[in-house]
């Protein structure tokens, strides 16, 4: 099965590499759009986070793990994941400090329905849950790739 390990490390052909380099940025932008408009259109933190992770996974699969110089020390995605959940919990706790003193209270002003900046805390929750989902799915994929290379060495 050495052929498949070679694909994982060196990447696929030039056509696939160039196409994914053109497409990955668009997929990343679409993920950000889905997260930011989560309180207006279908989607939200979970869907957009998985889309962002998918753009990175596409690049790694097409270009091989040598291209990004992936090692265990550069696996910073777990830090982003933990920080995002920490911020989300702090946002939830902030409801206990202002207003009616309830956990998960939506204490920011609601704004007008349908505007991009509206709905109080919901866009903030969407953004941090999106970062958390993207970082955790990317961490799982990176763990599979990196630890396999350690075995094959």
Positions that interact with other proteins (CB under 8 A):
1, 4-5, 8, 34, 38-44, 46-47, 50-51, 53-54, 57, 61, 78, 81-82, 85, 88-89, 92, 103-104, 106, 110-111, 113-114, 118-122, 125-126, 129, 132-133, 136-137, 139-141, 143-144, 147-148, 150-151
Alpha carbon distance 66, 149 (integer Å): 10
Alpha carbon distance 89, 80 (integer Å): 14
Minimum Å gap between C-beta 18 and other proteins is 20
Minimum Å gap between C-beta 11 and other proteins is 14
Nearer to other proteins, 21 or 41 (CB): 41
Nearer to other proteins, 21 or 116 (CB): 116
Alpha carbon distance 13, 61 (integer Å): 11
Cα–Cα–Cα angle for 40, 34, 54, rounded to 5 degrees: 160
Q: For residue 16, what are the contacts with CB-CB under 8 A and spacing of at least 6?
A: 62
């Amino acid at each position: 099965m050495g052929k498949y390990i070679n694909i994982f490390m060196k990447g696929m052909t030039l056509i696939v590499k160039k196409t994914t380099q053109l497409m990955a940025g668009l997929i990343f932008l679409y993920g950000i759009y889905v997260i930011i408009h989560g309180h207006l259109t279908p989607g939200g933190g979970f869907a957009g986070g998985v889309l962002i992770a998918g753009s990175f996974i596409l690049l790694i699969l097409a270009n091989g793990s040598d291209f990004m110089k992936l090692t265990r020390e550069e696996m910073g995605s777990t830090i982003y994941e933990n920080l995002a959940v920490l911020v989300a919990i702090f946002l939830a706790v902030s409801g206990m400090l202002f207003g009616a003193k309830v956990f998960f209270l939506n204490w920011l002003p609601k704004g007008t329905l349908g505007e991009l900046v509206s709905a109080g805390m919901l866009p903030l929750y969407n953004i941090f849950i999106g970062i958390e989902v993207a970082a955790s799915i990317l961490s799982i994929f990176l763990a599979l790739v990196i630890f396999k290379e350690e075995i094959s060495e």
